[in-house]
A and B are shown apart, each in its own frame.
Chain A
Amino acid sequence: DAKTTQPPSMDCAEGRAANLPCNHSTISGNEYVYWYRQIHSQGPQYIIHGLKNNETNEMASLIITEDRKSSTLILPHATLRDTAVYYCIVTDRGSTLGRLYFGRGTQLTVWP
């Protein structure tokens, strides 16, 4: 079962930062936070993951609170092609072989 809570939808103007929140209040010490996105009619795409430190890659930044009960995915300069459903998933990479249990995700719509 999904262990995360996300808002069902968000809007963002093109060129602005998109900040997508995720609550995972029952996360355990060995569980990672992963973010994937799914553009309409495509397979999900990996974005970023983290354990407790903030992470940044070419696609996005991940900010994890100190108590690890919530996180925020930041797309610094959203484009129309970032319109997608964004999934926040917590999983224990080791014992579960990285099985992903998707929640409902957040539909991000980027407006021109």
Chain B
Amino acid sequence: DAMVIQNPRYQVTQFGKPVTLSCSQTLNHNVMYWYQQKSSQAPKLLFHYYDKDFNNEADTPDNFQSRRPNTSFCFLDIRSPGLGDAAMYLCATSTLQRPGPQYFGPGTRLLVL
């Protein structure tokens, strides 16, 4: 089945140690999104890619970066994780079809020690 895959489902890192979360999709969608969801809060958009064009949200910290080497894969890099970056990170995809839904992966839960 076509889907959005996130690995790993749980990631533990140390304070200040760079970490990369990955997302892949078999839907061949143009647009990929990264959201951060802290405990008991709603998902918050960090940035998105339209093909290779990167679009950052104004309030996304510089500590968060992203790479999209091809249509299928997208990575979220956290350069120096702090305790406040512990959260669920959600990847989503969509087409440019007007209108069209976003398809979310299961998320990666990041724990910072």
Query: For residue A21, which residues in chain B have a CB less than 8 angstroms away from its CB?
Result: none
In angstroms, Cα B44 to Cα A103, docked, is: 9
Measured in the bound complex, the distance between the Cα atoms of B34 and A80 in whole Å is 30
Contacts of A68 in B (CB 8 A): none
Q: Assuming the A-B contacts A43-B92, A103-B42, are A97 and B50 also in contact, with contact meaning beta carbons closer than 8 angstroms in the complex?
A: yes
Excluding A97-B55, A100-B92, 6 further A-B contacts by CB distance (< 8 Å) are: A34-B99, A41-B107, A43-B92, A44-B92, A51-B99, A98-B100
Number of residues on chain A facing chain B (CB within 8 A): 25
Q: What size tier do the contact residues of chain B reach? A: 20 to 34
Within 8 A of A (CB), among B56-80: none
**Chain A residues with CB below 8 A from B105, complex form:** 43
| Alpha-carbon distance A26/B43, docked complex (angstroms) | 22
Q: Top 6 A-B pairs ranked by shortest CB distance? A: A43-B104, A46-B101, A102-B42, A93-B99, A44-B104, A32-B99
Q: Which of B44, B102, B106 contacts A98 (CB 8 A)?
A: B102
Which of A45, A94, A99, A105 contacts B45, CB < 8 Å?
Answer: A99
Say yes or no for B96: interface residue by CB 8 A criterion. yes
A36 CA to B101 CA, complexed, in Å: 9
- A residues with a Cβ closer than 8 A to B are 2, 32, 34, 36, 38, 41-46, 49, 51, 87, 93-94, 97-105
Residues of A contacting B107 in the complex (Cβ-Cβ under 8 angstroms) = 41-43
Q: List 29 A-B contacts (CB under 8 A).
A: A32-B99, A34-B101, A38-B43, A41-B88, A43-B92, A43-B106, A44-B90, A44-B102, A45-B104, A46-B103, A49-B99, A49-B101, A51-B99, A87-B42, A93-B98, A93-B100, A94-B98, A97-B31, A97-B55, A98-B31, A98-B94, A98-B102, A99-B33, A100-B45, A100-B102, A101-B45, A103-B42, A104-B42, A105-B42
- Interchain pairs with CB closer than 8 A, number: 60
Whether A46 contacts B98 by the Cβ 8 Å rule is: no
CB neighbours (8 Å) of A43 from chain B are: 4, 90, 92, 104-107
Name which residue of chain A comes closest to B88, CB basis.
A41
Q: What chain B residues lie within 8 Å of A103 (beta carbons)?
A: 42
Contact A46 B42 (CB under 8 A): no
